[in-house]
């Protein structure tokens, strides 16, 4: 039993520090009040998201994305793709509060803060073309 415990402890010493390195940027938490889809499936109340995650809110529902240093309010009827340090807004509306210079791509336009101070980008919207 002592040998087994030593083996497990040694493995944890090797694995845990490398997993902490992976916790850098590129991940966030999605908080929804229902009516939100994550990558084409109904999203739970709270879910981890990673780059290339697609968030869609339905009519009458909103969601919030909390990333390190940034918070995004995703308004109803919005489709946005999370890319770690940037968001790609397909259509809809969102509000971004960032202290780490998170960018928003809307079509061929990139909106980014000009300062590293906490910045609020309000009422960014993109209408879905018919």
The pLDDT tens digits of the residues spanning 82-97 come to: 998 899 999 999 988 8
Distance between CA atoms of 85 and 72, rounded to whole angstroms? 12
pLDDT of residue 70: 86
pLDDT attached to residue 19: 45
The reported pLDDT for the residue numbered 75 is 93
Q: How would residue 18 be classed by pLDDT, with cut points 50, 70 and 90?
A: very low
The pLDDT of residue 80 is: 95
| Bridge partners, 120 (sequence order) | 97
Q: Tokens 């087994």: give the residue.
A: 4
pTM over 0.75: no
**Main-chain phi, psi angles of 83, to 5 degrees:** -125, 25
Pairing between strand 103-106 and 86-98?
Answer: parallel
> What SS3 string covers the chain?
CHHHHHHHHHHHHHHHHHHHHCCCCCCEEEEECCCEEECCEECCCEEEECCCEEEEECCCCCEEEEECCEEEEECCCCEEEECCCEEEEEEEEEEEEECCCCEEEECCEEECCCCCCCEEEEEEEECCCC
**CA 128 distance to own-chain centroid:** 22
User: pLDDT band for position 99 (50/70/90)?
Assistant: confident
């Amino acid at each position: 039993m002592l040998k087994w415990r030593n083996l497990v402890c040694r493995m944890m010493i090797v694995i845990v520090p490398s997993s902490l390195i992976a916790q850098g940027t590129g991940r966030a938490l999605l908080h929804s009040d229902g009516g939100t889809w994550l990558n084409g499936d109904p999203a739970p109340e709270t879910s981890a998201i990673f780059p290339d995650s697609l968030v869609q809110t339905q009519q009458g529902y909103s969601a919030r994305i909390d990333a390190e240093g940034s918070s995004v309010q995703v308004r109803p009827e919005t489709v946005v793709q999370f890319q770690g340090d940037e968001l790609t807004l397909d259509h809809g509306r969102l509000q971004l509060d960032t202290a780490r210079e998170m960018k928003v791509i809307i079509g061929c336009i990139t909106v980014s803060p000009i300062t590293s101070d906490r910045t609020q980008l309000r009422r960014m919207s993109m209408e879905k073309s018919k």
